[in-house]
Amino acid sequence: MLTPRLAFRSLANRLLPSILTVASIAFSVALLVGIENVRNGLRESFTGTISGTDLIVGPRSGTIQLLLYSVFGMGSPTGNISWEGYTHFRDHEAVAWTIPLSLGDGHRGFRVIGTTDAFYEHFRFRQGRELDFAHGGAASDDHDVVLGSEAAARLGYGLGDEIVVTHGMGAAGIMDHDDEPFEVVGILARTGTPVDRALYVTLEGIDVMHAGWEDGVPPMPSFADPAPSDTDAAPPTQITSPTQITAFFLGATSRFATLRLQREINEHPDEPLMSILPGIALAEMWRSVGYAEDGLKIVSFFVVVVGLLGMLVSLYTALDARRREMAVFRAIGAGRGRIVGLLVLESGFLALMGALAGVALVYGGIFAFQGMVESRFGLLIPLRPLGALEWGYLAAVVIAGFLIGLIPAWKAYRTTLSDGLSPRS
């Protein structure tokens, strides 16, 4: 135990350079482990965009396309599902619940989605978390609108404000549905998912907006009503039930039912439908966008290499000042093993402390900033135990620390041989 004690005393004696070396290794390890944690958080938040939903059903198209427009609010739907097609499965004995989605309208750059109460009741994200209202409640009347948190914040709307919906997704529609203003009745709490960036109305609300627009143009006032200024003369109550929706989320009664339903939906004889398992589709999509994380990994790997090289430089330069010390060790009988052991232990100990400090830095950072990151960026970085990959990284850093110590150690031993016991100081 003499050599470890000597190594420790020697490091303590050069406290500032030792701390600087430990810090440089700690920062590079923190970067490596931190990136791994952020990557995990990203993947979890990505795959947690939707949870609890067994199947996503839409008109037949591509898996990713359906996922993109139904879950992520990106791209355009390729077609619609007839009301009959939807109700057929809604009322199916193996179906526990459905969330219909009617897409295609927007408000100042945010999507307007028509849905039902089932959305607020059954939609789940990130391992089963429910939607909460920050203010107000669900849209029940056909002129009610509920705002996602980001949409509400960016647009500056509050409860009771009246808004006008645009047909299509233009920021300022050429053809605004300004004849049908909607009232804000609820604002959802932040979820960190695309839910935050949309506005929610009822299915009837969507049809109200489109009443008389079946030709793709607004109804001519002269035909619809002789006196357009008289608002109560244009009742939207002629809508009895919606005619079509864009897609729907489905919860099955059992896992077995899910697979049966998937087959039934895909083979539905009346219209071409498709259903996807969201978990599998999300994983598939993550793989296709996940190559960016490899870039991060490579960068952080090089940061660690630079940190270790910094340690090598600092040990190597310190060595010149320690020639005397090495000669004294030799004079009192220290052999090659002890000289090499001393220096290898020193560098290994620095690497070990650096690795520990780096991990502490990451966990401290996550602990301190987790809430802020989640509320600012909607990204939850969970506090979780180190994964196998990270243990591998840490072991590699510590082993590299010991191995790097061999270089100055060997040099020190050679120097004591050539110096004999009289180093030229």
Q: How far is the CB of 392 from other proteins (least distance, A)?
A: 35
Task: Give the C-alpha distances (Å, rounded to integers) separating 80 from 90, 99, 100, 243, 264.
Answer: 16, 15, 11, 10, 18
What are the residues whose beta carbons fall under 8 Å from the beta carbon of 75, sequence distance 6 or more? Answer: 65, 68, 69
Q: Is 198 exposed, middle or buried (0-12, 13-18, 19+ CB in 10 A)?
A: buried
The distance of closest approach from Cβ of residue 327 to other proteins in the complex, given in angstroms and rounded to an integer, is 8
Residue (of 311, 289, 273, 295) closest to 403 by Cα position: 311
Residues 327-346 that bind other proteins (CB under 8 A): 327-338
The kind and range of the H/E element at 187 are strand 182-188
Candidate list 10, 24, 258, 275; residue touching other proteins; CB under 8 A: 10
Q: Secondary structure of 332-400 in the HEC alphabet?
A: CCCCHHHHHHHHHHHHHHHHHHHHHHHHHHHHHHHHHHHHHHHHHHCCCCCCCCCCHHHHHHHHHHHHH
Candidate list 9, 255, 287, 376; residue touching other proteins; CB under 8 A: 9
Please give the single-letter amino acid code of residue 366. Answer: I
- Which residue, 154 or 411, is less far from other proteins as judged by CB? 411
**Site membership for other proteins, residue 417 (CB under 8 A):** yes
422 lies in the site for other proteins, by CB under 8 A = yes
CA distance 80 to 70: 12
Options 12, 16, 174, 388; binder of other proteins; rule CB under 8 A: 12
Binding mask 32-51 for other proteins (x = CB under 8 A): --------------------
Query: Least Å distance between CB 348 and other proteins?
Result: 18
CB contact set of 272 (below 8 Å; sequence gap of 6+): 59, 60
Residues 251, 56: Cα–Cα separation, whole Å: 9
Shortest separation between residue 293's beta carbon and other proteins, angstroms: 45
Q: Would you count residue 128 as binding other proteins (CB under 8 A)?
A: no
Query: Residue 335 CB, nearest distance to other proteins (Å)?
Result: 4
Rounded to the nearest whole angstrom, what is the least distance from the CB of residue 333 to other proteins in the complex? 2
Smaller CB distance to other proteins: residue 334 or 357?
A: 334
Provide, rounded to whole angstroms, the least separation between the CB of residue 410 and other proteins.
14
Judged by CB under 8 A, the residue of 260, 263, 324, 414 near other proteins is 324
Amino acid of residue 118: A
# residues near other proteins by CB under 8 A: 26
Q: What's the min distance (Å) between Cβ of 20 and other proteins?
A: 18
Say which residue the tokens 């990203």 belong to: 42
- Nearest 5°: the CA angle 67, 70, 73 is 100
- Scanning 19-27, 194-202, 272-280, 321-329 for contacts with other proteins by CB under 8 A, the matching segment is 321-329
* Interface of this chain with other proteins, residues 397 to 416, rule: CB under 8 A: 416
CA distance linking residue 53 with residue 97, whole number of Å: 9
Chain residues that interact with other proteins, rule: CB under 8 A: 2, 6, 9-10, 12-13, 324-325, 327-338, 416-417, 420-422, 425
